[in-house]
A and B are shown apart, each in its own frame.
Chain A
Amino acid sequence: MSDGSTTNSSGFPNPLAWLGRGAIGLFAETGRLAIFAGRTKAAAFTPPWNLAQIWKQIVAIGFYSLPVVGLSAVFIGAALALNIYTGGNRFGAEQFVPNIVVLGITRELGATITGLMLAGRVTAGIAAEIGAMKVTEQIDALKTLSANPFRYLYAPRFLAACITLPVLVLISDIIGVMGGWLVSVFALDFDSTTYLRNTIDFLTMEDVVVGLIKAVIFGAVIAIMGCYQGSKSKAGATGVGRAATLSMVGAAVLVLASNYMLSTLFVRIGI
């Protein structure tokens, strides 16, 4: 294929060329993303810090995500309780609802649901904002005014997401458990005191910490994907829209993939 095309002489797509091009593209993209992430982290962990920008982003990413995080948590907790009750019923294990709800929420669902919701709300928002700045030359303007976009734009978002995600996940844990409790007490006839005692007795510090460690990683993924896709946005409304979509899909998949890898790691080290 000296001309570099992916169709052979008869005009049919050459599957090997197609596969090869896809693989090279994937590795190149992964490399670019890794370099971008490295530069963002370098800017985030070295002074000077732009405290005003960090605070602004903490409010935008953390505070304004509270409604969506709270609502998703209460429904997930409620649905989890219902399903465990129905499933557990089959072998007389329905009394374990509080234990499994609190375990599932703290170790897994609180962090994952928060990560996924923020991959939608925050990542797409960051990508659209940075993308619009890119196509209106505001990023170039920052550079000509001696402001490094990694320091001024990306690092504050990265830090704000890594700081606020654990807090949001903690809130999501509490509200999720409350969702399970609501359904159990008001629809499944559990005794409120017994339910809460079982929850508290069963819960360990490790379960909560596992979720919070995941949250920090999800925060990094969410901010970096948004900034990265936004920063390479192409011109026009389609370009910015595409950046937002790509960033959201990428962040959601990476949240789930890193969730699995972190869960494996935690199981290996026994927490």
Chain B
Amino acid sequence: MTQPILQLKGVEKSFGSNQVLRGVDIDVAPGNSLVVLGGSGSGKSVMLKNALGLMTPDAGQILFNGEDVTHDQGREREAMRARIGMLFQSGALFDSLTVWENVAFRLLNAEKMKRSDAKERAIETLKKVRLGSSVADLYPAEISGGMQKRVALARAIITKPDLIFFDEPTTGLDPITADAINDLILEQVKALGAAAVTITHDMASARKVADEIAMLFEGRIIWRGPASSIENSGNAHVDQFVNGRADGPIQPAI
């Protein structure tokens, strides 16, 4: 078996008396695309933030390429982050910077690249997500939501990472734009040969981008299998989620 690029072992995280993650075990093989499904409030985002090192787990381990990075700080943490891309749910573009400065942010700041070279790389990467050089000098507030997602995708892939996280990449987009974003994600991830971890509750998105699907429920991974087996998972929770029914073992979060 190949060494997983990312591995979570028994990760637990609580906020006050609210136990969000109760021992998450999951791993992603290099070049593989894993989609983690889960309802609102199931702890998907918390899991992602722990994996990225934005939060520190209360218990458990996070391994990156087999190395324990759970409590890494400073240089070790940066070395890991340099090889990871992240697409935030809201895009999280810096609104005081232009589109190209956003895309080239890591090159300009962490890697100290010359501005002219960085801009060239940014425009090249914007082309990959089907954005012309005319948007490069605009500010994020001046472009549409779908375009912002594409800029955010460009920012996540510009340094050719080995692993990319996608936090609900299609939330807030119309179905057609969402599908276009899914296509772009699929195309770019395959082109890079990167591993991808996508958290979503959008089944159309999951079916499209996943090699493997896992389901997070009450702070644990309760099912995992190849994307093709999602329709006959034999798991009542997964069935309810896939078919979008209010009745079943999962109580609606309202």
Contacts and interface: CB of A to CB of B under 8 A. Distances in A.
Contact of A140 (B78, B84, B92): B92
Interface in B78-95: 78, 81-82, 84, 86, 88-90, 92-95
Interface string B83-119: 0101011101111000000000110011000000000
Nearest to A136: B90
Given A140-B49, A140-B54, A146 B109 contact: yes
Interface residues of B, number: 21
B84 to A, nearest CB: 7
B109 A143 contact: no
A145 B49 contact: no
A137 B48 CA distance: 13
Contacts of B81: 143-146
A263 to B, nearest CB: 38
B52 interface: yes
Given A136-B92, A146-B78, A146-B81, A141 B86 contact: yes
Interface string B153-184: 00100000000000000000000000000000
B88 A147 contact: no
B78 A141 contact: no
Interface residues of A, number: 13
Give the dominant DSSP class at A's interface: helix
A125 B77 CA distance: 31
Interface in A143-163: 143-147, 152
Contacts of B155: 145
Given A137-B90, A141-B86, A141-B88, A147 B105 contact: yes
Given A144-B52, A146-B78, A146-B81, A152 B90 contact: no
B88 A145 contact: no
B110 A147 contact: yes
Contacts of A133: 94
A146 B49 contact: no
Given A138-B94, A141-B86, A146 B54 contact: no
Nearest to A144: B86
A207 B42 CA distance: 62
Identify which of B81, B89, B94 gathers the most chain A CB atoms within 10 Å of its CB. B94
A143 B86 CA distance: 11
A142 B92 CA distance: 9
Contacts, number: 45
Contact of A144 (B54, B93, B109): B54
A51 B110 CA distance: 15
Contacts of A144: 52, 54, 81, 84, 86
A146 B106 contact: yes
Interface in A106-143: 133, 136-138, 140-143
B110 A138 contact: no
Contacts of A137: 88-90, 92
Contacts of A138: 92-95
Most buried by A among B78, B90, B109: B109
B105 A145 contact: yes
A142 B97 CA distance: 13
A152 B49 CA distance: 21
A56 B70 CA distance: 36
Contacts of A142: 94
A145 B109 contact: yes
B27 to A, nearest CB: 21
The list of the 10 closest CB pairs from A to B, nearest first, reads: A141-B92, A146-B110, A137-B92, A144-B86, A137-B88, A145-B106, A146-B78, A147-B109, A138-B92, A145-B105
27 contacts: A133-B94, A136-B92, A138-B92, A138-B93, A138-B94, A140-B49, A140-B54, A140-B92, A141-B86, A141-B92, A141-B93, A143-B53, A143-B81, A144-B52, A144-B54, A144-B84, A144-B86, A145-B81, A145-B105, A145-B106, A145-B110, A145-B155, A146-B78, A146-B82, A146-B109, A146-B110, A152-B109
Interface of B: 49, 52-54, 78, 81-82, 84, 86, 88-90, 92-95, 105-106, 109-110, 155
Given A137-B92, A138-B93, A145-B109, 10 more contacts: A136-B90, A137-B88, A140-B92, A141-B93, A143-B81, A144-B54, A145-B106, A146-B106, A146-B110, A147-B105
